[in-house]
Amino acid sequence: MKFGVHISGAGDVRHVVKTAQALECEAVQIFSRNPRGWGSAKPIVKVNGKAMKELLEAIGVETLVVHISYLVNLASPEDRIYKRSYSLLCEDLIRSDELGADYLVIHPGSHKGQGVENGIEQIASSVRKAYNELNPKVQILFENVAGAGTEVGGQFEELKLMLDMAELGEKIGICFDTCHAFVAGYEVSTEEGVSSTLETFNNIIGLEKIKLIHANDSKGALGSKLDRHEHIGKGHIGIDGFKAIVNAVPLKSLPAILETPVNSPDDDVMNLNSIRSIDESRG
């Protein structure tokens, strides 16, 4: 796998590049704007005429990922929230292209009582409309979620329906979050469980649709729907689970972003060292 982390301070290109280099990242994820605000975003800055992806490639980073704002809810039945969400989706598609990003990751959203199928239809039609209007180069990835409350996308069948209804073929794919899958009820803490989960995913969606891994251990137990990330090997998935995930043949060539807790300056180093040490392809 090609490992990296989510780096905050996306408005500061030099900070992102410097941090990625210090951590020897092969993949990087950022927010293109304030993830918890609806306000206008700062213009994308180039350094010496180069986009962020070009600068990252120069230090060995192969994959740049943008994660959409936490506020975006394309499944919302509330007109005001939906319109704001759609506007941010369009803005982040444009900004992702300006950055040179490979992927834009979105949490599908919460239907807030209008029903799963209605929520999925609204998400799919929104993404299709945005792509048809803007024709961006970046690929959208739906992220599987924990499935708490009225969240859409916790089950593989829901993601499959989303992909099918969007009718965008290779323009969209899946970001597979290990913590979210586990707490949604998919066993990924054992080699047997990982194999079974991947077989299930392949039968429903197709493993070729997974373009990115979010590698996060879980504070919550299997099926708990508790979306709380933990350090690699320190949660309920554990080091054996991550050995199976990292070395699974269908996944081992993918980029993997760690969104593990950062409570001290050394936490990213600790987690990257932990997961790199169990990657058998690294010798």
Q: What is the pLDDT of residue 48?
A: 87
Q: What is the pLDDT of residue 36?
A: 79
Q: Which amino acid is at 191?
A: E
pLDDT score of 272 more than 80:
yes
Please give the tally of structural domains in the chain: 1
pLDDT score of 1 more than 90:
yes
Tokens of 64: 């740049």
CA angle 2/227/26 to nearest 5° reads 10
Q: What is the pLDDT of residue 11?
A: 65
Q: What is the dihedral of CA 223, 228, 231, 236, to 10 degrees?
A: -20
Q: What is the pLDDT of residues 136-172, one digit of tens each?
A: 999 999 999 999 999 999 999 999 999 999 999 999 9
258 band by pLDDT with thresholds 50, 70 and 90 = very high
Asked if residues 271 and 258 have their Cβ atoms less than 8 Å apart, the reply is: yes
Asked if residues 29 and 20 have their Cβ atoms less than 8 Å apart, the reply is: no
Q: What is the pLDDT of residue 145?
A: 97
- Alpha-helix runs per DSSP H in the chain: 13-22, 52-57, 79-99, 116-134, 156-166, 178-183, 191-204, 238-246, 267-276
pLDDT score of 10 more than 70:
no
Q: What is the pLDDT of residue 283?
A: 65
68 band by pLDDT with thresholds 50, 70 and 90 = very high
pTM: 0.96
Asked if residues 234 and 271 have their Cβ atoms less than 8 Å apart, the reply is: no
Q: What is the pLDDT of residues 199-257, one digit of tens each?
A: 999 999 999 999 999 999 999 999 999 999 999 999 999 999 999 999 999 999 999 99
Lowest mean pLDDT among 19-23, 36-40, 98-102, 231-235: 36-40
Of the CA atoms within 13 Å of residue 152, those in its CB half-sphere come to 30
Q: What is the pLDDT of residue 227?
A: 96
Query: Whole domain around residue 105: which residue ranges?
Result: 2-282
Asked if residues 267 and 19 have their Cβ atoms less than 8 Å apart, the reply is: no
Average pLDDT in the chain: 95
Asked if residues 111 and 152 have their Cβ atoms less than 8 Å apart, the reply is: yes
Exposed / middle / buried, residue 125 (Cβ in 10 Å: 0-12, 13-18, 19+): middle
| β pairing state of 229-230 and 217-218 | antiparallel
Could you give the CA distance from residue 156 to residue 150 in angstroms, rounded to a whole number?
A: 15
Q: Tell me, what DSSP letter sits at residue 207?
A: G
CATH at residue 118: 3.20.20.150
